[in-house]
Structure 1
Amino acid sequence: MLSLGLNVAGSEWIIIIFAALVLILGTNKLPEAAKKLGRAVNEYNKAKQDMQNQMKDYTSHDIGVKGPLGNERDKLEAIARSLGEDPSGKTTEQLKDLIQEKIGRRDDPGAA
């Protein structure tokens, strides 16, 4: 019997919540609360968009590998070329050190 009395549809809940807000906040503070809520939603959307743009920047870099690489040396050479370095004439250890050095720091002038 109790479940029949609380059978309220989705759109009716909006009316009930709005009426409760008017009773709690009053008509004078309701616009101010709506502005604060709008600013909070705007800040959330802006932060979400910034995070998505950052992720796109990090994931959009293509190192140009078209297929599987045979061994570790091939992988290191592909990484070195993608970083703008010439891998010829360097030992495997030198390539590892070079890659670690390049990845460890950012050449991006906008990076802080």
Structure 2
Amino acid sequence: MVLFFSAFQMNIGGSEWIIIAMLALFLLFGTKKVPQISKTVGKAMGEYQRAQELLRKEIENATTATRPMEDNKMHLMGTRIDGPVASEHEKLETIARSLNIDCLGKTDDEIRSLISRSLHR
């Protein structure tokens, strides 16, 4: 029984929905109101697209405005990390240099404790 009904299933594509919607508009509102409705819908869509573009530009401007500040922070800290760090010791040295900690001749544990003390001040 299910197989019988599945053979008669309606497959309605995108363009067919547009035709059905237009027929429904003509039946509901008549031929005189449809142009007014289309004009109103067109204006609303245009306003929506303008607002969407304005919002996109504002977000883009806000993100580009914060980038120089982030770059300045990194330069003020003294260290800029441009790639992956090779080892744990190298990572600790990079963090220590950014906090102006001298890590020459110190073990990893000593550097960790100095970093911890520096951050908790």
Q: What's the TM-score once normalised by structure 2's chain length?
A: 0.50
Aligned match for 2:54, one of 50, 54, 66: 50
**Greater fraction helix:** 2
Q: Which residue does the alignment assign to 1:71?
A: 99
RMSD: 2.4
Aligned pairs for 1:83-94 within 5 A: none
The structure whose Rg is larger is 2
Q: 1:5 to 1:22 in 2, by over 3 A?
A: same
2:37 paired with 1:9? no
Report the identity percentage.
Answer: 31
Report SS of the residue matched to 2:23.
helix
Q: 1:3 to 1:36 in 2, by over 3 A?
A: farther
Write the deviation string for residues 34-54 of structure 1: whole angstroms up to 9, x where unpaired: 111011111111111111111
Aligned length: 72
Q: What's the TM-score once normalised by structure 1's chain length?
A: 0.54
**Runs of 4 or more consecutive aligned structure 1 residues displaced over 6 Å after TM superposition:** none
Report SS of the residue matched to 1:14.
helix
Write the deviation string for residues 48-88 of structure 1: whole angstroms up to 9, x where unpaired: 1111111112111223346247139xxxxxxxxxxxxxxxx
Q: Which amino acid aligns with 1:40?
A: A
2:37 paired with 1:33? yes
Q: 1:7 to 1:58 in 2, by over 3 A?
A: closer
Q: Which amino acid aligns with 1:20?
A: A
Unaligned 5+ residue runs, structure 1?
73-112
